[in-house]
Structure 1
Amino acid sequence: MAFFDKLDSIMREDPGKRGLIPSLPANPVAELNEALDGTKRVILLTGFPIRLADDKYIGETDGPLGTANIAASLEKMGVDILPLTDDEGFKPFTAALKTVGCKTTPVLIPAINTDEFIRQQLDEFNPTHVITLERPGKARDGHYHNMRGNIIDDMLADTTIIIEEAKKRGITTISVGDGGNEIGMGALREAIEAHVPHGEVICASECAQVSLVSGVSNWWGWGISALLSLKHGKNLLPDKELEMDMIKAVVAAGSVDGCTKENVITVDNLSMEVHLDILNKVRAALAEELG
């Protein structure tokens, strides 16, 4: 399908030159589209912590926006959602969901007894799908790492079991990343270790059924929303004004750019003009497909 190729091409733009995308084959968009069939109840997991100069930490701007866009699209389709994040990302994710118009608010992941909490959510909510976007994954050494290879275990709740526990229950797992240290990216290990700085250290060990990479993880929020739009027969994507409102709300909630650590309206050291250009391309491709 031509639209799948267009969408993949847009997602694979790499203005930040992260190094991973050129080494990878095309994103499995057709497989993703099929995996999104039968969405009835979806757990959404995001939140990547950034350590600040005063040793405090907060969630970055990559993650809440993209996940909120998926959440809003699912709600408009009548799908039940359960957004999850931990303390560092709770306020930014809450702000993003509220701004995009979601009725559902995030559930806070506890820092202790986290495995028990994850299993409980899977059993009680009984999701058909688990979607993770820009959420740290645990490497082979048993630790979580940032892109510089530093261990960040102290900054987040240990949610690594969600992929394997979901698989045990027959739940579809979809994961999005842009650097290889995100949960679910283990299926791309060979390319991550060969082409990403510190890749052999930071590569996540968990393997989602569908692993997606983009120049910035948030972008697959639009990509997945575009595919849901085709299934719904209606454009579910945000416009640029709403996207600007969301980034402003997330920053006002304390979120920082993951690359610069600054509390400004940028994502991965890219201006909003760059991100909105990607959104416009996705919107144009979807409009053409919807006719």
Structure 2
Amino acid sequence: MDDVIGEALDRLICVEMRYASGVPRGIIHRLYDAARAEAGRPLTTLATELLVKAVKPGDRVLIVTGAGAPPFLPYGETDGPLGAVAIAHALDLALGAKPIFLSEERNLAPIAATAEAAGLSVLAEDMFAARAASAMCVPLLMAPEDWEGQAAALVEQHRPAAVIFVEKGGPNDKGRFHTITGNGRDRTVMASADALADAAGRAGIPTIGIGDGGNEIGFGRVTEAVAEIQEFGRKCRCGCGGGIGTIVRTDVLMVAAISNWAGYALAAGIALATDRPDALHDLGIESDMLAACARAGAVDGLNGRQMRGVDGTTAETQIAVMTMIHNIVSNARRPLRREF
């Protein structure tokens, strides 16, 4: 996939649709510009190239998602699972990979329901290893359990070709997790997925981070930009003395107005790079995924309602974005002979 298409996908997924108040506005294009300047090329192109180079048939890929904590987000939010599943669907169809989803145990039911809506059977490891169109779900440990030991064991057990983080919070330099509005959380309520990023780095395994605010794993690549751009970038509300930005880096960072959309763009990139257009899920599957995710307990991450919406945008908006992504893919594959 060339940089022209990567740039188009990047720009489409960064269209911001935030509420008039209550959450930071006017920040996505600035965060994207910082990440794009640091990377030097379109972020979707870089992430696509990383996966197509690293992943071979039969390889396992760890995909970490699931944002929020009880009581407001008891089973996570609808932003994250759909993007993670879109990537898994593309990896399965186009690259023959074996996707494994990881999150807090409370979030696994919506993730599994979303995967099954996309045609990926969520199975125990023996069956997962034996057949295509399948996935596994693995719970991540939280404090006071040995999350660092688990991360090392996961890397050793699965020897993943890549590790991808989709809308997964990472700690700041004080070791605290934060919401976009500056509220802090400790390691007893959030899985320490940063340990998996560290374990992957030590093993030389490539990583991708996807986020929409600066507090998600991957934004360690542009910590100063997050501090400058976000309202609580330098000083949060919890008293820890740090801002919301995470220090956790990945090899590639993708920025989007909604993290799911970056997952869709990456699936589109894989579809183009492998000439497998069916690797990008269709509009009917998109609708089914969102409905399944919400039915299983996930809520809209901005208004906290269990509904077919994502970060304050409607189901129809998700279909519209997917329609435009499909149009980009279709036209990118079709030469035009214009005689006028």
1:16-35 deviation digits (Å, cap 9, x = unpaired) = 27433222324433322321
Q: Mark the runs of 5 or more structure 1 residues left unpaired by the alignment.
A: none
Aligned to 1:87: 105
Aligned to 1:39: 55
Alignment of 1:26-105 (within 5 A): 26=36, 27-36=42-51, 37-40=53-56, 41-52=60-71, 57-76=74-93, 77-102=95-120, 103-105=134-136
2:321 is aligned with 1:273: no
Aligned to 1:10: 12
Secondary structure (helix, strand or coil) at the match of 1:211 reads strand
2:167 is aligned with 1:134: yes
Cα displacement (A) at 1:50: 4.0
Match among 234, 258, 271 for residue 229 of structure 1: 271
Mapped to 2, the partners of 1:108 and 1:50 lie a distance apart of: 15
Secondary structure (helix, strand or coil) at the match of 1:247 reads helix
Cα displacement (A) at 1:110: 2.6
CA contact (8 A) 2:211 2:255 kept: yes
Aligned to 1:149: 182
Q: Which amino acid aligns with 1:191?
A: A
Mapped to 2, the partners of 1:176 and 1:207 lie a distance apart of: 11
TM-score by length of 1: 0.94
Aligned to 2:240: none
Cα displacement (A) at 1:271: 0.9
Secondary structure (helix, strand or coil) at the match of 2:111 reads helix
| Matched residues, number | 289
Mapped to 2, the partners of 1:92 and 1:106 lie a distance apart of: 11
Aligned to 2:128: none
Mapped to 2, the partners of 1:18 and 1:157 lie a distance apart of: 28
Mapped to 2, the partners of 1:9 and 1:182 lie a distance apart of: 20
Mapped to 2, the partners of 1:109 and 1:218 lie a distance apart of: 21
Q: Which amino acid aligns with 2:189?
A: M
CA contact (8 A) 1:19 1:195 kept: no
CA contact (8 A) 1:130 1:166 kept: yes
Q: CA RMSD in A?
A: 1.6
Q: Which amino acid aligns with 1:12?
A: C
CA contact (8 A) 1:20 1:192 kept: no
